[in-house]
Amino acid sequence: MKEQQQKEKTEPGTLYLIPCPIAEHENVWDVLPAANRTVIDSLDYFIVENVRTARRFLSKAGIARKIDELEFRELNEHTTDPREVDRMMDPILAGRSAGVISEAGVPGVADPGAWIVAQSHRHGVRVVPLVGPSSILLALMASGLNGQSFAFNGYLPVKPPERAKAIRALERRVVQERQSQLFIEAPYRNTKLLAQLLEVCAPETRLTVAADITGPEEYIRTRTIREWRKASLPEIEKRPAIFILG
């Protein structure tokens, strides 16, 4: 009996991947399933990309616990020491469940939260992804481009010559593999990226521009490069956007 109780005490907790709204002004429960609330209310330990953003999200979600009673650990691009991640794992291995929260959308996809997820798998910790919005998948869904074969490429190079080379390489994959190519840019460089796409790509290549997905100013449009060159371009500077070639 004592051995069984000891085993139960050492069972690790569960790692929950908690999505949050993409557009900051959205009502949390307009875009997330109500079932997520039960999970969030059960947790007091969160591994987050940014503590301030996470606290604001949980406050808007109206969670049962007081925010000041919660424990937060930051995991982001500044986390470079694997020992920091190991320390984040310690409470989970001791039996405490945790929630991972990204800046926006789903954790672990184009997100540093993937590090703690990988560690959880190494330690045999159960990982549970909760349902929520992903700007990558929502943009692809609404693009009309190939959703059977696609690749997310993250950020393209910043310098124009290198970026042009990357764009041509992605366009070749579109033609040769019939694979949709998704990528993003820092919002303040969106306009420059769009201009170079219109300059570099072939006229019949299709391009989707998706900005402010799920927000009131949402913009999603797919045109050929030829059509984009003749159209009035959207104002996407400083707006979160996804680009897709197909």
Count of C-beta atoms within a 10 Å radius of residue 2: 6
**The pLDDT value given to residue 8:** 54
Residue 86 structure tokens = 């190991």
Note the pLDDT tens digit of each residue in 155-207.
Answer: 999 999 999 999 999 999 999 999 999 999 999 999 999 999 999 999 999 99
Residue listed under structure tokens 């995991």: 75
Q: What is the pTM of this model?
A: 0.88
Q: How confident is the model at residue 4 (pLDDT cuts 50, 70, 90)?
A: low
- Distance CA(149)–CA(122), nearest Å, equals 29
Residue 137, SS3?
helix
Residue 27: is its pLDDT beyond 90? no
Phi, psi of 235 (to 5 degrees): -85, 95
Q: State the average pLDDT for the chain.
A: 94
Which domains are delineated in the chain?
A: 2-129 (3.40.1010.10), 135-245 (3.30.950.10)
Mean pLDDT, residues 49-58: 95
- At residue 23, the pLDDT reads 82
